[in-house]
Structure 1
Amino acid sequence: MTAVELAGITKRFPGVVANHDIHLTVRKGTVHALVGENGAGKSTLMKILYGMQKPDEGTITIDGEQVSFSSPADAITRGIGMVHQHFMLADNLTVLENVVLGSEKLYGIGGKARRKIAEISDRYGLGVRPDLLVEDLGVAARQRVEILKVLYRGARTLILDEPTAVLVPQEVDALFENLRELKSEGLSVIFISHKLGEVLSVADDITVIRRGTTVGTAVPSETTPRQLAELMVGSELPTPETAESTVTDRPVLTVKDLRLETTGGKALLDDISFTIHAGEVLGLAGVEGNGQTELVDALIGLKHADSGTIALADDEITAWPTRKRREQGVGYIPEDRHRHGLLLEAPLWENRILGHVTEKPNAKGVWLNPKAAQEDTRRIVEDYDVRTPGIDVTAASLSGGNQQKLIVGREMSHNPRFLIAAHPTRGVDVGAQAQIWDQIREARREGLAVLLISADLDELIGLSDTLRVIYNGKLVADADPATITPEELGSAMTGAATGHLEHEETPKTPESPAKGEKTTPAAPAEAGTQADADAPEDDEAR
């Protein structure tokens, strides 16, 4: 029995065909994965199914009946629900208030609504507590609220856009258990993801989109991550593994006893101390909201510490303004590229100038040098494979992965001494991931010191020379990337382990690697951040 069928879907925008003759059939009671590189057209296709855009050609069939959607309300009426990668919840409202918001006519706002929420939560094992404030919930709990919200509205087919982007391994397992419950009740799930290992473990069927059209389908039991990646991007699957150590004994960034407080005196960062040497990548693991953002703000100069010191090589920079830090060699790949990395409505060459207004080639003396900036933007587009019709198009017209490659190219072009890389491959496909990893490895070989913050534990373990865990604003644990597993690191991120993390010795079986044998990820994962809530990554192809 077919839940959803898209046939011959074509969608054109000025200068680009986002979707061309796409076919997708989702069976009832199954998880159907939709995979493809950045700009492949996945998000455009889902916007069409969710009524946010109308196709130029093709048909949509729901439960055997051909339909036409003019808005998401039409799609919701026909049982289509979408959980966006970046959560659409109001922090200052309770779970119950968030769930009923906009759907008050269904079950009211009182006891009947509460009973319905409890019923859905119990039925699908979601464990949602209606009276908690959303701002007090962790990332995984917020996601369950989003799922409950669409089920409350009567969804029979759920679209999940990158649902595991910010979850630790234990939370991913719990989400997949929830999806199995949904399937057993006859619901269908369209699962969009870059994490190919997870796709193969949870999906019943897989459809691959490349360059705006469907290039094939796959059955997970008959497919490997490598085959899926090759179908998806036409090349082999990269891994973030770093073979040789390039760590020197020359300190580049030294942080001592750093403390940052709220106006009420609550510690956001408490007693943070670490040193990053030339040629070293220090990986910082932590569940979102445990002080990573505040640490980055303190290092780049957006917030000033209440106590403690920050030194760049021999200079104490604790009181330096952001511009001086940038001019002296601090590079910055922000966690939220839309809010802190780009001017979305400005052309690419103006975005190339951002953060480096006073530096060559953007400036000549005290004057801006637009011609040189434009020429250098063309070089970045070429060197970093930024897929764009030209440098005069807006940053908003690029897919998320191409926006990220532009930012990485901009930062690397100034030969930084110290690079803050916050979720550098979030929202990018396996091909773009490989390019960004190569750039970080190459700069590391040349003596760059890197602070790597990522929700992708395979990326953290693969790229890092040193690993630290941050929890409630404190550095609580450290680990050897050569032996630690993502599961052990994930456990420490939830506060379950502190101190030096030793890999637990287990008898070697095909499922458990021996001590000292680094676990190679089945597929590179994608990182995401909840901080991007107002900048969703679903403008992949326009």
Structure 2
Amino acid sequence: MNTSAEPEPGGPPAVELTGITKTFPGVVANSDVNLTVRAGEVHALCGENGAGKSTLMKILYGMQAPDSGTVRVRGEEVAFRTPAEAIAAGIGMVHQHFMLADNLTVLENIVLGAESSHGIGARARRRVLELAERAGFDVRLDVLVERLGVADRQRVEILKVLYRGARIIILDEPTAVLVPQEVEELFTTLRTMREQGFTFLFISHKLDEVRSIADTVTVLRRGTTVGTVAASEVTSRELAEMMVGTALPVPETGPSAVTDRVVLSVTELSAVEAGRPVLEDVDLSVRSGEVVGIAGVEGNGQTELVEAVMGMRPIASGRIALGERDITALGTFARREAGIGYVPEDRHRQGLLLDESLWQNRILGHQTRRPVARGRWLDRQGAKDDTRRIVEQFDVRTPGIDVDAAALSGGNQQKLIVGRELAGDPQLLIAAHPTRGVDVGAQVGIWEHLRSARAEGLAVLLISADLDELIGLSDTIRVMFRGRLVATADPRTVTPEQLGAAMTGTQEAV
């Protein structure tokens, strides 16, 4: 099979899936799904979390075998048993949750497993730099991946599939970690590569972005194909109705619930990593009933700020207080015990034990408190009962609380985490990208729970790359640039364009 030739006009589809059915215990993931992707197009795949998108793409990528149905690549029927076979056929996949080795450099991650292509020395380095230039990426090949932000990790994953010769590329929620300027840069890259004959399968919940970049859109609902439409001939509202049967949700803060009581106070906070400052003289406060949003291009200090407040990162100077209590010297566990809830930016690496049950994940970080503990002992029944409550209250779609967290879709995993953290009745909730990679239905549910908790006096520090979410949910927005808080914005009057300008350092005040 030729994996490098340009698509021929009128040739066979790049990908054709027919009658795909896949079931798991208690769950029908795909039911008679049909999908046809033309060569040289960007084809978007939309649907709620749990609609079957990821399972379908895992079947195409050789990670899972269908129970029935056929897969054709460039007109030839295939039955991939492993991702290696899919890669050999010119298919690459960039997963939403990256598969990188933190203790290896960028170059080592890209070359790992493909050493036979260009070796591991100068020739491999030249090839990676050529691909980076072609894709418009600025990469530091000798930096350890553990030091990269989420956006840079995504670029490494894209370079990995290009390095292996992929011409058909599956992108799973590729813009979930990006701010608008980065999204447009990615789209410019995709359009350029599309002109060169690359084919993209683009999984996303951001319907305006789908309509901007895709040629064609296929919508799945509850495991089956709802329809395929030209992106230029459908509105975001129509796509949302195809996905969930409702109009697009809009984040709204509602009436002000802000009080005078300061819950979080950060004063002159600075932190250093590898000899360079990552936080500089950060002053920040969050009051009871207030949502303070942090806007910033990935890698400008938002992650470091969260880690410093959570006690996960040492600081060089400054003070952190929760209410009237100085918590600067406390460890992470003690800070959580003092009343901080935490929704991490990467639910797989930091929020869940994927191979453990839902009720066991309910215990994480709350193992000393009711209802999951009695004194020094865990209360198994209490944990199970409260997990059932969270499943019902937060609409976590699952066959039961004994299934592993890995069995849930991303949106349902996220709802479980949000429910767990709010169940601890925190004074302060740090929510890092709380709706990243979730569908519009799950998104509106999480927004509603955050609004309700805010109305009851919860203080929320919200970090998000979704500017509409920041503007819609926040009472105040602070802008981070190069480790500093450089601007304050009123969400009632600021525009996404103004925020974007401040985030890139081209506008100091909004």
Q: Do the two structures share a fold, i.e. TM-score over 0.5?
A: yes
Aligned AA for 1:23?
Answer: N
Cα distance in structure 1, aligned partners of 2:66 and 2:77:
14
Counterpart for residue 244 of structure 2 = 233
Counterpart for residue 393 of structure 2 = 383
Alpha-carbon displacement from aligned partner over 1:122-141 (angstroms, at most 9, x marks no partner):
6x553566866475877656
- The alpha carbon displacement at 1:94 in A equals 6.3
Counterpart for residue 126 of structure 1 = 136
8 Å contact kept, 1:117–1:130: no
- The alpha carbon displacement at 1:304 in A equals 4.9
* Aligned partner (choices 170, 173, 184) of residue 162 of structure 1: 173
- The alpha carbon displacement at 1:172 in A equals 1.2
8 Å contact kept, 2:93–2:170: yes
Matching of residue 250 in structure 1 with residue 261 in structure 2: yes
Alpha-carbon displacement from aligned partner over 1:212-262 (angstroms, at most 9, x marks no partner):
111111222221111111111222211112242222222121111123334
Counterpart for residue 529 of structure 1 = none
Alpha-carbon displacement from aligned partner over 1:485-529 (angstroms, at most 9, x marks no partner):
22332333333333x22xxxxxxxxxxxxxxxxxxxxxxxxxxxx
Distance 1:220 1:198, change over 3 A: same
Counterpart for residue 363 of structure 1 = 373
In structure 1, list runs of 5 or more residues that go unmatched. Answer: 502-542
Counterpart for residue 103 of structure 1 = 114
- The alpha carbon displacement at 1:266 in A equals 4.1
8 Å contact kept, 1:31–1:183: yes
- The alpha carbon displacement at 1:436 in A equals 0.6
Cα distance in structure 2, aligned partners of 1:170 and 1:221:
22
Counterpart for residue 187 of structure 1 = 198
8 Å contact kept, 2:177–2:436: no
Counterpart for residue 463 of structure 1 = 473
- The alpha carbon displacement at 1:144 in A equals 4.5
Counterpart for residue 404 of structure 1 = 414
Distance 1:240 1:108, change over 3 A: same
Aligned AA for 1:211?
Answer: R
Cα distance in structure 1, aligned partners of 2:305 and 2:64:
40
Cα distance in structure 1, aligned partners of 2:458 and 2:139:
46
- The alpha carbon displacement at 1:77 in A equals 2.0
Matching of residue 292 in structure 1 with residue 302 in structure 2: yes
Counterpart for residue 332 of structure 1 = 342
Matching of residue 393 in structure 1 with residue 403 in structure 2: yes
Cα distance in structure 1, aligned partners of 2:87 and 2:401:
39
8 Å contact kept, 1:252–1:278: yes
Cα distance in structure 2, aligned partners of 1:125 and 1:367:
54
8 Å contact kept, 2:430–2:462: yes
Distance 1:470 1:128, change over 3 A: closer
Q: Structure 2 length as normaliser, TM-score? A: 0.90
Aligned AA for 1:30?
Answer: E
- The alpha carbon displacement at 1:375 in A equals 1.6
8 Å contact kept, 2:415–2:442: yes
Distance 1:29 1:338, change over 3 A: closer
Matching of residue 197 in structure 1 with residue 199 in structure 2: no
Matches within 5 A, 1:129-140: 133=143, 135=145
Counterpart for residue 5 of structure 1 = 16
Alpha-carbon displacement from aligned partner over 1:91-139 (angstroms, at most 9, x marks no partner):
67666555444333334456665665566556x5535668664758776
Matches within 5 A, 1:68-83: 68-83=79-94
- The alpha carbon displacement at 1:160 in A equals 1.1
8 Å contact kept, 1:461–1:481: yes
Distance 1:134 1:196, change over 3 A: farther
8 Å contact kept, 2:97–2:348: no
* Aligned partner (choices 329, 332, 342) of residue 319 of structure 1: 329
Q: Secondary structure at the match of 2:14?
A: strand
RMSD after superposition:
2.5
Higher relative contact order (CA 8 A, sep 6+): 1
Alpha-carbon displacement from aligned partner over 1:185-222 (angstroms, at most 9, x marks no partner):
22211111111100011111101111111111122222
Cα distance in structure 1, aligned partners of 2:28 and 2:73:
25
Aligned AA for 1:313?
Answer: G
- The alpha carbon displacement at 1:398 in A equals 1.6
- The alpha carbon displacement at 1:342 in A equals 2.1
Counterpart for residue 487 of structure 1 = 497
Aligned AA for 2:459?
Answer: A
Distance 1:79 1:412, change over 3 A: same
Q: Secondary structure at the match of 1:181?
A: helix
8 Å contact kept, 2:179–2:298: no
Counterpart for residue 360 of structure 2 = 350
Q: Secondary structure at the match of 1:51?
A: coil
8 Å contact kept, 1:128–1:141: no
Aligned AA for 2:374?
Answer: K
Aligned-pair identity (%)? 65
Counterpart for residue 272 of structure 1 = 282
- The alpha carbon displacement at 1:450 in A equals 0.6
Q: Secondary structure at the match of 2:297?
A: coil
Distance 1:104 1:280, change over 3 A: same
Q: Secondary structure at the match of 2:449?
A: helix
Counterpart for residue 150 of structure 1 = 161
Q: Secondary structure at the match of 1:229?
A: helix
Distance 1:83 1:242, change over 3 A: same
8 Å contact kept, 2:104–2:144: yes
Cα distance in structure 2, aligned partners of 1:307 and 1:42:
46
Q: Secondary structure at the match of 1:483?
A: coil
Cα distance in structure 2, aligned partners of 1:389 and 1:91:
34
